Chain A
């Protein structure tokens, strides 16, 4: 059980189908170094230039709302790549009970089931920033659901808040016995009380999603 390579891929098509190639296929695009995920208003479109106009989502006047569109910011191409099936049906787009959205392809076995976690930065040690709930995991903006073995089960799926090791999702039910592709769906939720955030909270770009795994 050597250390497996882990490739992260995103489904850029409107087809809810599994990934057929760990390097990417007609539906899945391989995330490259420096690429990131971002959520935008419906006015932002697939293929828009990163250097062009960006359309942030508006905070709801009351209650909460799911951000509308998820994109891969493809820095090598300089473009937004929409991940159209991401999120739940509450995003007023194509989100819903979709299974094959984000993928982590493991080339070999693991000692434990891999986890998806969110941290303040690439030291992967803290999860206290405002977008991750300021210490209250249930207030994290990021919610995810494991879909390796089944779709979310509800078009309006709620998901698990992501906040370090306090709140995370297992990407399978058991350690991996061999090479395998794991899947999850993810969304970002905005709340009316976020109007009280500091500017630095909104422009804090160090947040990272991490795949945590073990090998021997």
Chain B
């Protein structure tokens, strides 16, 4: 499945959020007691413009966050999605790791409170610590 965040929640529950490209990705509307892991399938492009399937996975984080970066021009109705941000807080530390998906895939490594271009973000959800840390993006074909 592409463009939907898939969550593994505490208690073996799986939950799939809305299409991140829609007006309602759904992250802000969930209140999980604990996220064991997060996966996200998306399509990139190769040099010939062909779709390339990728998958992003984060697991074992103390907290997770996701948000869409967007822009609206002054003097126009044009709204555009600029990037998708997936963040995780390394357990028992202020270290933030994660990924920004835009016209390229960027790995993030920063500290809590400065995770978005040097500023803090809202919307963090609790994780379940104890499992090995995973933060990776890979091509699935």
List A residues at the B interface (Cβ < 8 Å): 1-3, 6, 8, 31, 33-37, 102, 109-113, 116, 122, 124, 165, 175, 208-216
A216:B66 contact, CB within 8 angstroms:
yes
A33 & B77 in contact (Cβ 8 Å cutoff):
yes
**Distance between A175 CB and nearest chain B CB, rounded to angstroms:** 5
Is residue B99 contacting chain A, with contact meaning CB distance below 8 A?
no
Are A214 and B23 touching (Cβ within 8 A)? no
Minimum CB–CB distance for B30 against chain A, Å: 10
Q: Which of A2, A113, A122, A212 contacts B69 (CB 8 A)?
A: A212
Q: Check B73 against A208 for contact (C-beta < 8 Å).
A: yes
* A210 in contact with B66 given A3-B23, A112-B116 (CB within 8 Å): no
Residues of B within 8 A of A112 (CB): 67, 116, 119-122
Q: How far is the CA of A122 from the CA of B23 in the complex (A)?
A: 21
B70 adjacent to chain A (CB < 8 Å)? yes
Determine the chain A residues whose CB is within 8 A of the CB of B69 once the complex forms.
212-214
Complex CA gap A35/B25 in Å reads 30
Contact A212 B71, CB 8 Å, known A3-B24, A112-B119, A124-B80: yes
- Residues in B with CB closer than 8 Å to A6 are 72, 79
Given A8-B74, A37-B75, A214-B69, A175 and B121 contact (CB-CB distance below 8 Å): yes
Interface check B82, CB cutoff 8 A = yes
A210, B73: Cβ atoms closer than 8 Å: yes
Size of interface on B: residues with Cβ below 8 Å to A: 31
B119 to chain A, nearest CB (A): 6
CB distance from B122 to the nearest CB of A (A): 5
Q: Is the CB of A122 within 8 A of B73?
A: yes
From 99 to 129 in chain B, residues with beta carbon under 8 angstroms from any chain A beta carbon are 116-117, 119-123
Describe A's contact surface by its main secondary structure.
Answer: loop
Interface residues of B (CB under 8 A from A): 23-25, 27-29, 65-80, 82, 85, 116-117, 119-123
- For B122, the chain A residues whose CB sits under 8 A away are 109-112, 175
- Known contacts: A111-B67, A113-B119, A216-B123. The answer to whether A2 contacts B23 by CB under 8 A is yes
Q: With the chains together, A175 CA to B67 CA distance in Å?
A: 12
- CB proximity of B73 to chain A, nearest CB, Å: 5
Residues of A within 8 A of B119 (CB): 112-113
Point out the residue from A1, A109, A113, A209 that lies within 8 Å of B73, measured CB to CB: A209
Cα–Cα distance between A209 and B78 once the two chains are bound (Å): 12
List of B residues within 8 angstroms of A109 by Cβ: 28, 122
Measured in the bound complex, the distance between the Cα atoms of B28 and A110 in whole Å is 10
Shortest beta-carbon distance, B139 to chain A, in Å?
25
| A150 CB to nearest chain B CB (Å) | 20
Q: Across the interface, name the chain A residue whose C-beta is closest to B76.
A: A33
Determine if A34 and B75 form an interchain contact, defined as CB atoms under 8 angstroms apart. yes
In whole Å, how far is B50's beta carbon from the nearest beta carbon of chain A?
22
Cβ of B24 to closest chain A Cβ, rounded Å: 4
Give the residue name and chain of the A residue nearest to B27 (CB).
A216
Residues of chain A within 8 A (CB-CB) of B75 are: 8, 31, 34-37, 208-209
> Could you give 18 example pairs across A and B, Cβ below 8 Å?
A33-B77, A109-B28, A111-B67, A111-B121, A112-B67, A112-B120, A113-B119, A124-B71, A208-B75, A208-B76, A210-B72, A210-B74, A213-B70, A214-B68, A214-B116, A215-B68, A216-B25, A216-B67
